[in-house]
Amino acid sequence: MLKVAMIGCGAIGASVLELLHGDPDVVVDRVVTASDARARTEATVARWAPQARVLEALAADDAPDLVVECAGHSAIAEHVVPALERGIPCVIASVGALSAPGMAQLLEQAARRGKTQVQLLSGAMGGIDALAAARVGGLDAVLYTGRKPPGAWKGTPAEADCDLDSLTTAHCIFDGSAELAAQLYPKNANVAATLSFAGLGLQRTRVRLFADPAVTENVHHVEAHGAFGCFELTMRGKPLAANPKTSALTVYSVVRALLNRGRALAI
Instruction: Kindly list the catalytic residues.
Output: 220
- CA 212 to chain centroid: 24
Strands 66-69 and 218-226: unpaired
- DSSP label of 238: P
Which residue, among 20, 11, 76, 69, has the nearest Cα to 41 in the 3D structure? 11
- 260 marked as part of a ligand binding site: no
Alpha-carbon distance of 62 to 57, in angstroms, equals: 10
CA dist list (Å): 206 to 51, 104, 193: 45, 19, 11
- Residues in a beta bridge with 200: none
Side chain identity, residue 102? G
SS3 210: strand
- Helix ranges, the chain (H): 11-20, 38-48, 74-75, 81-85, 103-113, 128-137, 158-161, 178-184, 189-198, 248-262
Judge whether 242 is annotated as a binding position: no
DSSP 49-97: -TTPEEESS--TT---SEEEE-S-THHIIIIIHHHHHTT--EEES-GGG
- Binding site per annotation, positions for NAD(+): 124, 190
- Binding site per annotation, positions: 124, 190
